[in-house]
Structure 1
Amino acid sequence: MPLKDVTVTIDLVKPPRLLGFGKPLIVTKKTGTSTIKNYADLPAVKVDFAESTTAYKKAAAIFAQDHAPAEIAIATYDSAAAANDPKTPVEAVTKYFERDWYFLLTTDATNVEQIAVADYVESQKYKIYVTKATAAADRTAFKAKTYDRTLVFYHTIVAEEPDAALVGELGSQTVGSVTWKFKTLKGITPLDLTKTELNAIHADKAIAYVTKAGIPQTSEGIMVSGEYIDIVHGKDWTQANIENNVQTAFANAPKLPFDSRGISVIKGQVETALLQATDNGIIAKDDDGNPLYTVTALSRTEVPASDRGARKYNGVSFSFELSGAIHSAEITGSILR
């Protein structure tokens, strides 16, 4: 993550894009020194990666979608690299983790390599790994890990890249405005699954691409833990937006006095971010249309003197109710004679 003086922690209690929040990174094997490079279109990708490569095919799946991102990034590793260069997918992810991207995709990685990448992303508590499993055993290997930050797309058509298509279609839409279930992906063939087969996929906390009511669509939008991807995405977006808002207030003011004036600025920046999160669809509204969040701030006198001396203010806290989404419905009716 970028350098900052503001840290926001959000604990998820269950009962406008920022920079990089829809941008995918493709990590792929390529002979030579490791690089990371941005690409704004498919012809640019073709200069560095042949059409036969999985990196190109994933990029093509991303750019084919109606809501494709403005750009993607591709990073490389080489199993025969020099001592300090990444030799595995997880080493490449580690090397480039703090660069400008949010959704991670890997190419041609073994299940063991995928698990190692997922372990690392989970340890960072930031960003999301979306991967493809073509065998049932591979998806069940993820299930045991209960990752909050890995989504497994089960798809038996090896030549297609549904993980990349999913990120391409949904990752760059306004965070909080969409659920990842029910979505149609260009270039992806629905699997012909029975209800029992689909239930088994969902029991493994993976998703698939199926046809319902004659419409090809994603079967769910869940992480390996069972948490919804839009909730994790929205949580990260809200955290980063608050941090950016307050960091900008620090930078733009001659100084923020350690009294009601400075404290009100910090509180105001938090409220601004939460209002935007409400508009995006992350935070719920009550029946009167009011945002369901609260923000509190300790006064100067409530802050320990040692913190005031260190110019450290830890007095703002907030909570909100998630908007969530409706993923199923049961409707009853009656017929009159």
Structure 2
Amino acid sequence: MAKDVNVIIRIETPTPRLGFGKPLILGSASTAKPYKTYLELAAVKADYGETTEEYKAAAAIWAQGDYAPAEIAIARQKTGTEPETVSDVMERLLKEDWYFLITTTTAQADVDEFAAAIEADNSREYFTRSSTLADVALLLAKNYSRTTVFYHIDISNYPEAALVGRVGSAPVGSVTWKFKYLQGIAPLDITDTELREIHAAGAITYVTKAGRNQTSEGKTLSGEWIDVIHSKDYIRFNIEYAIQNLFADTDKVSFTDTGIAQLESVTRTILQQGFLQGMVAADAAGLPLYGTTFKGREEVDPVDRSKREYNGGTFWFELAGAIHQTTISGVIRK
């Protein structure tokens, strides 16, 4: 789909209208099924049946109760004779409204292809599961920043779908993916050394800490935080969407300082929303840490003005992040 607005964000270390909390469950069978949205598990049962992998994944999502998304989507990839390739199925599904991909397949070759497709698209995230750390390590070598692998000895009940159901539909930027309780998932009884091995392989898992069951980390395969990728996509897409609407709703956005100010105002509105949702940090005075710089008309190359292309806008923001570990020192006075 052609776009008139393109926002690029680089993460610095110190398109349909996306539902940013909407999961897509992708199954596979001899007959393909188109993308369809579901609002309740009973409707999934009518189309797929309780014994299907699609139903099990949907059940894991909606088992998270009040945290679960209001709607999910399900589709099927054709296998067998004249199968639908990953490229084919992703081409049709990337036109639809979803953000988190969950596949019923855990075959190494399939997972690698889906991870590569999500990485290339650069607008969604992929959550998969594995009971074999060696397979996770093969994915780790690809350094995918948009794929999260949930390691567990029992992957039949879709722990990664439970995680998406628990966290994915919260306001973007308001939560971390670590420390989360997952309904229906049993914690692993493992040592600290075993947990470090899981993390070193690039996966996250489910453990008990201080008597409470919780996710062990909140990272993608590359080591980037899941909420950072989610926030980046949210800011980029919403600026693109808002400015595209400005173009459509305004008789003319003039190539003047006034018109340029309209572009900047829309951009700052989205950044302020990011601040209110908790993804943008605040300074010591409580003021949001973001900024914009938009060149005035006279600063823009006349060639760009003649082509009606404005490329002089930039923005920045500091991520609020989250505290995942702490060391607190104390003194006993006598």
Give TM-score scaled by structure 1 length. Answer: 0.95
User: Superposed, which structure 2 residues align to 1:111-122 within 5 Å?
Assistant: 111-122=108-119
Whether 1:264 and 2:261 are equivalent positions in the alignment is yes
Q: State the Cα distance separating 1:158 from its structure 2 match.
A: 3.0
Whether 1:58 and 2:80 are equivalent positions in the alignment is no
1:128 matched residue in structure 2: 125
Aligned residue identity for 1:71: E
Indicate conservation of the 8 Å contact 1:61/1:164, yes or no.
yes
Whether 1:8 and 2:7 are equivalent positions in the alignment is yes
SS of the residue corresponding to residue 204 of structure 2 reads coil
Q: State the Cα distance separating 1:48 from its structure 2 match.
A: 1.3
* Change in CA separation of 1:102 and 1:34 when aligned onto 2, cut-off 3 Å: same
Separation (CA, whole Å) in 2 of partners of 1:63 and 1:225: 28
Separation (CA, whole Å) in 2 of partners of 1:90 and 1:180: 29
Separation (CA, whole Å) in 2 of partners of 1:268 and 1:27: 39
Q: State the Cα distance separating 1:94 from its structure 2 match.
A: 3.1
Separation (CA, whole Å) in 2 of partners of 1:285 and 1:33: 48
Aligned residue identity for 1:12: I
- The Cα offsets for residues 179-202 of structure 1, whole Å up to 9 and x where unpaired, read as 000000111111101000000011
Indicate conservation of the 8 Å contact 1:176/1:280, yes or no.
yes
Indicate conservation of the 8 Å contact 1:32/1:81, yes or no.
no
Give TM-score scaled by structure 2 length. Answer: 0.96
Identity value in percent:
47
Q: CA RMSD in A?
A: 1.4
1:278 matched residue in structure 2: 275
Indicate conservation of the 8 Å contact 1:90/1:113, yes or no.
no
Separation (CA, whole Å) in 1 of partners of 2:155 and 2:101: 19
2:27 matched residue in structure 1: 28
* Change in CA separation of 1:155 and 1:246 when aligned onto 2, cut-off 3 Å: same
- The Cα offsets for residues 162-221 of structure 1, whole Å up to 9 and x where unpaired, read as 110011111110000000000001111111010000000111121000010111100000
- The Cα offsets for residues 147-173 of structure 1, whole Å up to 9 and x where unpaired, read as 110000001113221110011111110
SS of the residue corresponding to residue 144 of structure 2 reads coil
* Change in CA separation of 1:88 and 1:120 when aligned onto 2, cut-off 3 Å: same
Separation (CA, whole Å) in 2 of partners of 1:264 and 1:81: 56
1:80 matched residue in structure 2: 80
Runs of 4+ in 1 over 3 A off after TM superposition: 88-91
Separation (CA, whole Å) in 1 of partners of 2:289 and 2:27: 43
Aligned length: 331
* Change in CA separation of 1:141 and 1:90 when aligned onto 2, cut-off 3 Å: farther
Aligned residue identity for 2:26: V
Q: State the Cα distance separating 1:301 from its structure 2 match.
A: 1.1
Given candidates 88, 91, 95, the residue that maps to 1:94 is 91
Q: State the Cα distance separating 1:126 from its structure 2 match.
A: 1.5
* Change in CA separation of 1:302 and 1:81 when aligned onto 2, cut-off 3 Å: farther
Separation (CA, whole Å) in 1 of partners of 2:248 and 2:308: 15
